[in-house]
Structure 1
Amino acid sequence: MKNLANKVAAVTGAGSGIGRALALALAAQGCHLALCDVDETGLDETAALLAGSGVTTTTTVLDVADERGVYAWADRVVADHGRVNLVCNNAGVALSGTVGGVGLDDYRWIMGVNFWGVVYGTKAFLPHLEASGQGHVVNVSSVFGLSSQPLMSGYNASKFAVRGFTESLRQDLKVAGSPVSATCVHPGGIKTNIARTARHDDSVRELTGKSGAEAGREFEKLFITSPEKAAAAILRGVRRDRPRVLIGADARALDALVRLLPTGYQRLFTAAVRSRRSRG
């Protein structure tokens, strides 16, 4: 899809961060929008920013972990807009804690949003994308879908799953000669509120000497890329039909490290956590 003008895009997690930036960037290119988010206030704020943009915008309050809700939304998008050409499965949450500490309900929660939300969004929209004659699926993984970190087993599992799912999806579509393609996105530290809305288990303190909230605030200082730059990189990847998009110098550096030290990088990360703990 070289040109997004007069196309229709569905974006999840559009109430803030990358999702909001994607909506604004798409509107600037003349793309009509169907937006959803679990946060009604944030979604309304995004809609207000789009007022006067000249594109048709519809909004739906939706938890992407709700299978029936996602399928109903996809049907409603086509009913409202006549077609859909692009779906950006961007909504995501974060979770920290040791494997021994994190409860199964928290694992189910993060997989429900980060992985199953992507699966539902892809499968619900894929028939509509193919019917449009020209479509693209964008699934947002993470730099933590390329490398694992201490205390991030739930987040890592969900983002590695998104990567595997999307890379296989792209190959399915190419083999079938589908008019739809797929891109997996791996952002580094993006200046969003994901760290502030994360769930933290008490085991974070046991391993780091800091509470989950304190560790989150410290980690948030490493977020160096704006949502606007992330959105621009994603849409550039769509236009160029890139299989993978790395966002930020930190993502590119970490990708290179993992390629250089496929398992050795783990020693570096565990040493870094131990060092911070001894200093703290």
Structure 2
Amino acid sequence: MDTFLNAGVCVVRALFCWLESVVLFFVPAHYRMKSVAGDVTLITGGGSGIGRLLALRLAKRGARIVTWDVNVEGNDETVRLIRAAGGEAHAYTCDLSKREEVYKTAERVKREVGKVSILVNNAGMVIGNRLLEIPDKLIEKTFEVNTLAHFWTCKAFLPDMIASKKGHVVNIASLAGMQGMSRLTDYCASKFAAVGFHESLTVELKVGGHDDVHTTVICPFFINTGMFDGAKSTVIPFLEPEYVADQIETAILLNKEHVIIPGYLTPLFFFKLVLGYNTLFEIAYALKLTDVMEGFQGRKWSPPVPLMNGAGSRTSHNGSASPPPSEHK
């Protein structure tokens, strides 16, 4: 009897959630947006690109911005721009590939600025080589920045969000975290992991009764920020940073849980399940979507770590590891 009762309750709750989403669909977004005024908002990789654009937008809405980046000049420039516009911003130099540095910098932020209520995990890096050409250390670095850093930042700031019953964790992943691509084995794997992290964290918070701590994962197509210089797509155009920043801002204000940018690509993942892998691959191959990374150049630099698999690698970053210049999605 209890089993049937529980099943009935689940059906009713699921139906209520569905009806709620239908009703809210017809309510103008402006009336559904939350206020972020006064919220301490930490954005990793905020020294340029999407991180900077998002920081500027949220600052205009009254958020108190904290930007983390290894690019000191870029980080300071973001703060200068926000303060010039009348907002509040604070810059901290932090290498997200180093766990203890993340924890130490987090304590400084809490002590000097206050408890973080909105966390945006934006920093990331891409190598852009085939698996057998990527030095082992850079594969590790990719996961340290694109995936593991999310664990450290969340462990640093989630307790305060839960205690205050207010918070929002935003993970900037990628469409490459939902579909594998050539020359992106490490990047795709790290972004798949970021999406999985988001989904598991979301369930964990809901099961724990912490519905007042929201989560959002953003999965955009390639963006024209320089991170993927040289890559080309003849069918799906690269996204403009301003457009992506607008979409992320809206997602945060509406507490959306999963956002694909551009939205018209969402049905592709339904087709992935229905058509099967081989069919979808043939379609992608015909449209040359499998060749997007063939001309990739990214930012060239000399890796600061010992190479275990041969010569140097081309790579792009967005404020994640200390040696290279900062780049953002």
TM-score class, shorter? 0.7 to 0.9
Aligned partner of 1:28 in structure 2 is: 60
Could you tell me which of 88, 99, 107 is aligned with 2:120?
88
Deviations 1:223-268 (A, max 9, x none): 6322222222122222322220112257546545535534132334
Are residues 86 and 41 of structure 1, via their aligned partners in 2, closer, same or farther at CA, if it must alter by over 3 Å?
same
Q: Distance in 2 between matches of 1:193 and 1:30?
A: 29
| d(CA) in 2 for partners of 1:34, 1:217 | 32
Q: Counterpart amino acid of 2:223?
A: I
The match for 2:250 is: 236
Structure 1 residue aligned with 2:219, among 186, 192, 195? 186
**Structure 1: segments with no counterpart, 5+ residues:** 197-215
Equivalent residues in 2 for 1:1-280 (5 A)?
A: 2-178=34-210, 179-196=212-229, 216-218=230-232, 224-248=238-262, 251-252=265-266, 254-255=268-269, 257-263=271-277, 264-270=279-285, 272=288
The change in CA–CA distance for 1:109 and 1:217 in structure 2 (over 3 A counts) is same
Structure 1 residue 81 displacement after superposition:
2.1
- Contact 1:189/1:222 (<8 A) preserved: no
* SS of the residue 2:245 aligns to: helix
3-state DSSP class of the match of 1:150? Answer: coil
SS in 2 for 1:96: coil
User: Larger relative CO (CA 8 A, sep 6+): 1 or 2?
Assistant: 2
Q: 1:108 to 1:39 in 2, by over 3 A?
A: same
- DSSP-derived class of the 2:97 partner: coil
CA-based RMSD of the aligned residues comes to 2.5
Residue matched to 2:29: none
- The farther-off stretch of 80-89 and 264-273 is 264-273
Aligned-residue offset at 1:6: 1.2
Contact kept? 1:174, 1:181, Cα under 8 Å = no
TM-score where L is the length of structure 1: 0.83
1:246 aligned counterpart, secondary structure: strand
Superimposed CA distance per residue, residues 48-102 of structure 1 (whole angstroms, 9 cap, x where no aligned partner) = 2112333321101111111111112222222122221100000011122222222
Return the alpha-carbon distance in structure 2 between the equivalents of residues 223 and 20 of structure 1. 22
> CA, structure 1 residues 261+92, in 2 after alignment: closer, same or farther (shift >3 Å)?
farther
Letter matched to residue 190 of structure 1: I
Indicate conservation of the 8 Å contact 2:45/2:69, yes or no: yes
Distance 1:127 1:234 in 2: 24
Change (3 A) 1:173 1:56: same
Q: Distance in 1 between matches of 2:83 and 2:244?
A: 22
